[in-house]
């Protein structure tokens, strides 16, 4: 059997962010001077793959990038991380996806204003089997649902595990979930999808309906909750000096994929992913604080944890 050329292939979003640092986010209708302006590459799947690349995995990104300055910044960042970009489509005359992110320096929390032009839409016909079967695992998000669904179906048909990062309900996304092995949704996604307010019941419903191996959700500073083999695992977050939460979830997903490919247990995968996400929050930008495995292990060994009693009590 031929060894796959890549450990992880990803289909999904990239973005080039403009960070605006303010001392405190203004009230509605207010006015405040920003202190710094920083251009920084990000995007869900692109950042997850960058994380895996920096952790030493062989990674390949499939997506669309504009041919403007923001697109060039994005491509330079992906090349620097060692990603294979053979199947990235550069769209002529199309601006890259962009976001303006206001960072409240008193808390590190961010508010995002984003735009993705239609000219960046991924055509499902361009997702051919050889682009997916070259890897041991597939990671996707939810935005270009038709293309992502095709990629996930190809992976499922070839017994390649699929991981998904999703925060919103997209039309037709059930076709993606039907091919997912590892769901790690945002804090809001399980309730949005099931209309069940209890996160434990919501994750159970999703897992049972789609017969996925793991159904999980991130909980921001409180860590992550997951269900596997009928049991819940709660992993508390880490207490760090939070500078910017941008990209924390994307780094979490990259670290989670890395852990799966390394054969880690679910508990260890969640703990490592929480540590990587927390460390990314100590620097500015979606990829500003992507740590080494050694740095993450050090935080796991010595760091202070923030446990949410409702999740800890019920898992």
Spatial CB neighbours of 269, under 8 Å, sequence gap ≥ 6: 255, 256, 259, 260
- Provide the pLDDT for residue 230: 93
Taking only the tens place, the pLDDT of each residue in 59-115 is: 999 999 999 999 999 999 999 999 999 999 999 999 999 999 999 998 888 899 999
Taking only the tens place, the pLDDT of each residue in 219-228 is: 999 999 999 9
Cα–Cα distance measured from residue 56 to residue 223, given in angstroms and rounded to the nearest whole number? 24
> Is the CB of residue 249 less than 8 Å from the CB of residue 220?
no
Cα–Cα distance measured from residue 210 to residue 215, given in angstroms and rounded to the nearest whole number? 10
Cα–Cα distance measured from residue 250 to residue 272, given in angstroms and rounded to the nearest whole number? 14
> What's the mean pLDDT in 278-292?
95
- Provide the pLDDT for residue 75: 97
Nearest residue to 138 via CA among 126, 125, 154, 124: 154
With a pLDDT cut of 70, the percent of the chain lying above it is: 99
DSSP state at residue 197: S
Taking only the tens place, the pLDDT of each residue in 111-153 is: 999 999 999 999 999 999 999 999 999 999 999 999 999 999 9
| Structure confidence at residue 310 as a pLDDT band (50, 70, 90) | confident
The verdict on domain 6-15+43-96+117-313 having CATH code 3.40.1190.20 is: yes
- Provide the pLDDT for residue 158: 97
DSSP state at residue 118: G
Residue 182, φ and ψ in degrees, nearest 5: -130, 105
Nearest residue to 227 via CA among 186, 191, 270, 262: 270
- Provide the pLDDT for residue 92: 97
Bridge partners of 226, per DSSP, are 216, 233
- Burial per residue of 7-40, b for 16 or more beta-carbon CB atoms within 10 angstroms, e otherwise: bbbbbbbbbbbebbbbeebeeeeeeeeeeeeeeb
Q: Are strands 110-115 and 6-11 parallel, antiparallel or unpaired?
A: unpaired
Taking only the tens place, the pLDDT of each residue in 12-27 is: 999 999 999 999 998 8
Whether pLDDT at 217 is above 80 = yes
| Structure confidence at residue 312 as a pLDDT band (50, 70, 90) | confident
Residue 46, φ and ψ in degrees, nearest 5: -60, -40
Q: What is the dihedral of CA 161, 224, 277, 15, to 10 degrees?
A: 60
With a pLDDT cut of 90, the percent of the chain lying above it is: 90
- Provide the pLDDT for residue 311: 87
Residue 25, φ and ψ in degrees, nearest 5: -65, 130
| Structure confidence at residue 1 as a pLDDT band (50, 70, 90) | low
Cα–Cα distance measured from residue 242 to residue 11, given in angstroms and rounded to the nearest whole number? 29
Cα–Cα distance measured from residue 24 to residue 105, given in angstroms and rounded to the nearest whole number? 6
Cα–Cα distance measured from residue 46 to residue 8, given in angstroms and rounded to the nearest whole number? 12
- Provide the pLDDT for residue 191: 96
Taking only the tens place, the pLDDT of each residue in 171-180 is: 999 999 999 9
Q: Give the residue extent of every domain in the chain.
A: 6-15+43-96+117-313
- Provide the pLDDT for residue 109: 87
Average of per-residue pLDDT values in the chain = 95
- Provide the pLDDT for residue 238: 97
Q: What is the CA radius of gyration of the chain?
A: 19
Asked whether the CA dihedral 186, 192, 198, 201 is positive or negative, the reply is negative
Whether pLDDT at 257 is above 90 = yes
């Amino acid at each position: 059997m031929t060894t796959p050329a890549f450990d992880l292939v990803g289909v999904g979003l990239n973005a080039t962010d403009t960070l605006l640092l303010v001392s405190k986010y203004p009230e509605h209708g207010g006015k405040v001077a920003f202190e710094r302006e920083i251009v920084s590459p990000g995007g869900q799947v692109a950042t997850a793959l960058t994380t895996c690349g920096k952790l030493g995995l062989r990674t390949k990104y499939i997506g669309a990038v504009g041919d403007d300055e923001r697109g060039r910044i994005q491509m330079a960042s992906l090349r620097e991380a060692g990603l294979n970009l053979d199947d990235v489509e550069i769209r002529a005359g199309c601006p890259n996806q962009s976001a303006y992110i206001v960072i409240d320096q008193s808390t590190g929390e961010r508010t995002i204003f984003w735009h993705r032009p239609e000219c960046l839409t991924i055509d499902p016909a361009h997702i051919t089997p050889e682009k997916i079967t070259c890897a041991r695992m597939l990671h996707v998000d939810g935005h270009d649902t038709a293309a992502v669904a095709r990629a996930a179906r190809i992976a499922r048909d070839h017994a390649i595990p699929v991981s998904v990062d999703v925060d919103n309900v997209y039309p037709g996304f059930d076709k993606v979930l039907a091919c997912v092995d590892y769901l790690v949704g945002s804090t809001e996604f399980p309730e949005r999808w099931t209309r069940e307010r209890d996160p434990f019941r919501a994750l159970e419903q999703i897992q049972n309906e789609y017969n996925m191996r793991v159904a999980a959700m991130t909980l921001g500073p409180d860590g992550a909750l997951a269900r596997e083999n009928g049991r819940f695992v709660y992993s508390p977050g880490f207490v760090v000096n939070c500078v910017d939460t941008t990209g924390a979830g994307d780094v979490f997903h990259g670290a989670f994929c890395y852990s799966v490919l390394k054969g880690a247990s679910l508990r260890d995968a969640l703990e490592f992913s929480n540590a990587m996400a927390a460390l990314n929050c100590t620097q500015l930008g979606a990829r500003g604080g992507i740590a080494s495995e050694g740095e993450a292990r050090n935080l796991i060994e010595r760091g202070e944890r923030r446990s949410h009693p409702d999740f800890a009590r019920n898992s």
